[in-house]
Chain A
Amino acid sequence: MPSLKDLKNRIESVKSTRKITKAMQMVAAAKLRRAQEAAEAARPYAERFNGVMASLAASVGDSDSAPRLLAGTGKSDVQLLVVMTSERGLCGGFNTNIVKLAKTHAEKLQAEGKTVKILTVGKKGREQLKRDYGDLFVGHVDLSEVKRIGYGNAQDIARDVLARFDGGEFDVATIFYAQFRSVIAQIPTAQQIIPAAYESEGSDDAGESTLYDYEPDEEAILADLLPRGVATQIFAALLENGASEQGARMSAMDNATRNAGEMIDKLTIEYNRSRQAVITNELIEIISGAEAL
């Protein structure tokens, strides 16, 4: 049985843990709001962009001269997986879920006899993937110095990916990130970015009723816009991921705070019990001592 002093120490230490997790939860909540605003602010651009791309892709997409970024290389032998995770831990199952999805994907592709290459964004995912897939790594993007994710970061990643594509290093690229639904639900998602798959739903109605003039011609615009599309999609994914990470951290820290509270209650009860036991013992000793006289 632990002594009173031990119990007291443990209660103190759990209390300071609770303070830390509580503080982290509040920081995550503040950051989450900012991350959500950033994701919100980026949405109009992405939506319009996709709308225009969809109508462009629909008009050029089927011709033989369609750019490779849209039509693909005609093969799918070499697959590049871009796994986006966070730079910091203590965010529940956030990184694990993304990594798990990427792993299943990689296994499936390998079973089909395809070559898998992995590009990691964020330190945590890299650490988790290293053991099983370390030899498949082709690169890593470090965002730990970045305080606020900007379009520039996405452009850098996109440039890297596009350079590899132009160099013929892979045929298909897929990004892995967590979509933000709510504080308790972040959905790990796989999205193919090269060749680009632009959903033409919705814009179909608008796109076909309006016949656009193109200046310069459609193909020149498409060639100019497709690389931007890659950057835009990566940027959207980074922002979603940022919000998801903070959301996951917030709920993880909320749980930790609650668990610490429960632990403190339990320890306090134990502490009081043993304190009473000590008093009772002392009383018995005094009484039996008096009786012996």
Chain B
Amino acid sequence: MADTMQFDLVSPERRLLSTEATSVQIPGADGDLTAMPNHAPLITTLRPGILTVETAKGSEQFVVTGGFAEIGESLSVLAEKALPREDVDQATYEALVDEAHRIYQQTKETAEDPGLVDDAVKLLQDMVAVGSHIGLDPKQPSI
């Protein structure tokens, strides 16, 4: 049995990581999940959160803001925006929260479908949760 699998983390602008991983924690839309080699084929969407990659050399963490993951023979995470955790400082993080806040405000005003507003609320809350997770202050009321 293979104890590693091919893991690719790509964003629309570039390939961030391509490596052999032993396990990967993915912030799935319906909850976190950990993918290990020989995981059943799965496609899931992502919520804003922390993605942790365990390789033979150690673990790496990324902040992702959305996108989806495809688990098959290999694991590909296609993130809307992905940043290495150590690159995320207060300013970058605030920009992300502001963006989520803006989307929320916009949806609240324009959308008729309450489902869309709920989605935006969830996006914002997830984004705020990311901050408390990595010790940054969102400086925004969650709602």
Total interface residues in chain B, CB < 8 Å: 26
Is there an interface contact between A48 and B10, defined as CB atoms closer than 8 Å? Answer: yes
Expressed in whole angstroms, the Cα–Cα distance for A52 and B70 within the complex equals: 8
A288 part of interface (Cβ distance < 8 Å): no
Is there an interface contact between B45 and A212, defined as CB atoms closer than 8 Å? Answer: no
Q: Mark B19-34, 1 if CB is under 8 A from A, else 0.
A: 0000000001110010
Expressed in whole angstroms, the Cα–Cα distance for A45 and B11 within the complex equals: 6
Contact status of A216 and B30, CB under 8 A, knowing A44-B10, A48-B76, A52-B70 = yes
Nearest chain A residue, comparing its CB with the CB of B40: A213
Expressed in whole angstroms, the Cα–Cα distance for A49 and B43 within the complex equals: 12
Is there an interface contact between B12 and A224, defined as CB atoms closer than 8 Å? Answer: no
Is there an interface contact between A150 and B80, defined as CB atoms closer than 8 Å? Answer: no
Is there an interface contact between A38 and B78, defined as CB atoms closer than 8 Å? Answer: no
Q: Which interface class (under 10, 10 to 19, 20 to 34, 35 or more) fits A?
A: 20 to 34
B15 part of interface (Cβ distance < 8 Å): yes
For B10, B15, B72, the residue with the greatest tally of chain A CB atoms inside 10 Å of its CB is: B10
In the complex, which residues 67-99 of chain B have their Cβ closer than 8 Å to any Cβ of chain A?
67-68, 70, 72-73, 76, 78, 80-81
CB-contact partner of A210 in B28, B30, B41, B78, under 8 A: B41
Contacts of B70 in A (CB 8 A): 48, 52, 212
Expressed in whole angstroms, the Cα–Cα distance for A38 and B13 within the complex equals: 7
Contacts of B40 in A (CB 8 A): 213
Expressed in whole angstroms, the Cα–Cα distance for A32 and B76 within the complex equals: 29
B44 part of interface (Cβ distance < 8 Å): yes
Expressed in whole angstroms, the Cα–Cα distance for A208 and B67 within the complex equals: 23
Is there an interface contact between B42 and A49, defined as CB atoms closer than 8 Å? Answer: no
Closest beta carbon of chain B to A162's beta carbon, Å: 12
Is there an interface contact between A41 and B14, defined as CB atoms closer than 8 Å? Answer: yes
Contacts of B78 in A (CB 8 A): 45, 48-49, 52
Contacts of A49 in B (CB 8 A): 78
Is there an interface contact between A228 and B80, defined as CB atoms closer than 8 Å? Answer: yes
Contacts of A46 in B (CB 8 A): 12
Closest beta carbon of chain B to A60's beta carbon, Å: 12
Contacts of B80 in A (CB 8 A): 151, 228
Q: Apart from A215-B28, A215-B45, what are 7 other A-B pairs with CB-CB below 8 Å?
A: A48-B76, A52-B70, A151-B13, A210-B41, A214-B43, A215-B42, A228-B80
* B residues apposed to A, CB below 8 Å: 8, 10-15, 28-30, 33, 40-45, 67-68, 70, 72-73, 76, 78, 80-81
* A residues apposed to B, CB below 8 Å: 38, 41-42, 44-46, 48-49, 52, 56, 150-151, 154, 210-216, 220-221, 224-225, 228, 231-232, 235
Question: Which 10 pairs between the two chains have the least Cβ-Cβ distance?
Answer: A215-B44, A41-B14, A151-B12, A213-B42, A45-B10, A212-B41, A210-B41, A212-B43, A44-B10, A45-B12
Chosen A-B contacts, 28 in total, with CB atoms closer than 8 Å, are A41-B13, A44-B8, A44-B10, A45-B12, A48-B76, A52-B43, A56-B43, A151-B12, A151-B13, A151-B80, A151-B81, A154-B12, A214-B42, A214-B43, A214-B44, A215-B42, A215-B44, A216-B45, A220-B45, A221-B45, A224-B45, A224-B68, A225-B45, A225-B68, A228-B67, A228-B80, A231-B12, A232-B12
